[in-house]
Amino acid sequence: MVSNDRILRQLLLAVGGGCLLGCVLASCVVSLFLMQPAILTALANPVGIRTRTPTITWTPTETHTPTATATATLTPTSIFPTRVRTATPAPSVTATSSTPKPKPSETAPPTSTPRPVVQHFLVGRPVAPNAKMIFPDPTYLYGTTEKGDLDVHHGEEFENPIGTSLYAVADGTVVTAGSDMQRICGNDGKGMCGPYITAGKGFYGNLVVIRLAQDYNGVPVFALYGHMNKVFVTAGTAVKKGDLIGEIGMSGIALGPHVHFEIRLGVNDYSHTRNPILWMTPLPGHGSLAGRYTDTEGNLIRGALVDIYRTDNTFLFETETYGRDRWPAVNSDDQLKENFAIGDLPAGDYVVRIAGQPFAVRVSIERGKLSLVEIGGS
């Protein structure tokens, strides 16, 4: 019996101990389960390490505004309005005669030497002051070729819509009116008006030529209007400055609507043209510029590019010295002997340069006046 009792007691002890141990373990498991979030948080954030709150907020950087940098590009910032060029092309362009290279030994004169400037602004504008374009097209001035693309220009273009009124630029008498498919120019009224006559078109198409009432040094002065749409006058009509004489068109060989305006001196034909800029009163507040670019012998250099800058070196635009082609040559003024001219520059100071050459001349333009620059020479 004693041994049975001992066995029973030991058995009870073992069961009780096992139950106790099991309860402890079970409660541990339950506790662990219940405390899981806290434990995980504690593990993730051990005491002593501060929670890192991201404080970097992304501030968008300032909008990128392109800064305009002033560069002297060859894009005309022109004082002249932008325009679509509709030049008078020739049916075929012959190679412009050679472009003589200036003598490299020349150095630029620091300033121009003023010489007597003979001014003869005898005419106004062929279009009204409120016309769309009252400046001559600066890309195809008298004597220029658009860098060889076109024949040497014997006049100036005022590009305006078809139907724009044309006015007498001075008092005078109409000596030619009609289509130049007939020979109606020349001092006898029997010569060609242009360099040739295109079948069915003529050259200037419908045109008017006015002989000014005022001669110049005893020589007759003529003003020609080409490519007209309508002509309101006839040969023999006396006109006063500002009288309506017709409308702008694109007759003849014009590619687009404009009036081709010429000054002829001495004889009403294609070989007696002069630069209209030198005869046309500058617009209010503006003056005009004539220039001579010559070699060491004093000969005019043809087809050179002339660049006009403001004195702060801002490029304004480019023109050319007079060229020569297969037609009768354009002519310099008898006194000025110029080979380039620019009209309607706002009064002020400018720098004239010859492209690719060291020449640079400063010139002042005065209201209502003509200035002359001389570049190169001896």
Instruction: Give yes or no for residue 88 binding Zn ion (CB under 5 A).
Output: yes
CB of 227 vs Zn ion, minimal distance in Å = 8
What Å distances lie between residue 70 and 73, 315, 356, CA to CA? 9, 11, 22
Contacts for 172 with CB less than 8 Å, ≥ 6 apart: 210, 211, 212, 213, 223, 238, 239
State both tokens at 19: 């139950």
Instruction: Return the SS3 of 74.
Output: coil
Shortest approach of Zn ion to residue 88 CB, angstroms? 4
CB nearer to Zn ion: give 157 or 333: 157
DSSP per residue over 190-223, as a string? -B-SSS--BTTTBSS-EEEEEEESS-BTTB-EEE
Task: Report in angstroms how near the CB of residue 135 gets to Zn ion at its nearest.
Answer: 14
Strands 286-294 and 370-376 turn out to be: parallel
The single-letter DSSP state of residue 326 is S
- The least distance separating Zn ion from the CB of residue 262, rounded to whole angstroms, comes to 8
**Starting from the edge strand earliest in sequence, which strands make up the sheet with 348-354, in order?**
315-320, 305-310, 348-354, 360-365
Segment near Zn ion (CB under 5 A); pick from 59-67, 101-109, 111-119, 255-263: 255-263
Between 158 and 350, whose beta carbon lies closer to Zn ion?
158
| Residue with Cβ nearer Zn ion (106 or 159) | 159
Fill in the DSSP letter of residue 292: E
* x/- track of binding to Zn ion for residues 11-50 (CB under 5 A): ----------------------------------------
Report the residue closest to Zn ion, judged by CB. Answer: 260
Closest CB to Zn ion among residues 138, 155: 155
Per CB under 5 A, which region of 83-91, 123-131, 327-335, 368-376 contacts Zn ion?
Answer: 83-91
Q: For Zn ion, which is the closer residue by CB, 194 or 220?
A: 194
CB of 87 to Zn ion, least distance (A): 6
Site string for Zn ion, 287-306 (x = CB under 5 A): --------------------
Which 104-163 positions form the footprint of Zn ion (CB under 5 A)?
Answer: 155, 157
Distance from C-alpha of 370 to C-alpha of 291, rounded to nearest angstrom? 10
- Alpha carbons 41 and 43: distance in angstroms, whole number: 5
Give the shortest CB-195-to-Zn ion separation in angstroms: 12
Rounded least distance, CB 254 to Zn ion, Å: 8
As measured in angstroms, the least distance from the Cβ of 156 to Zn ion is 7
Rounded to whole angstroms, how far apart are CA atoms 309 and 378? Answer: 24
Nearer to Zn ion, 226 or 303 (CB): 226
Using CB under 5 A as the binding rule, the residues of this chain from 153 to 212 that contact Zn ion are 155, 157
How far apart are alpha carbons 108 and 373 in whole angstroms?
12
Residues that contact Zn ion, how many (by CB under 5 A): 4
Identify which of residues 143 and 155 has a Cβ nearer to Zn ion in the complex.
Answer: 155
Distance CA 158, CA 86 (A): 10
Beta bridge partners of 7: none
Q: Footprint of Zn ion on this chain (CB under 5 A)?
A: 88, 155, 157, 260
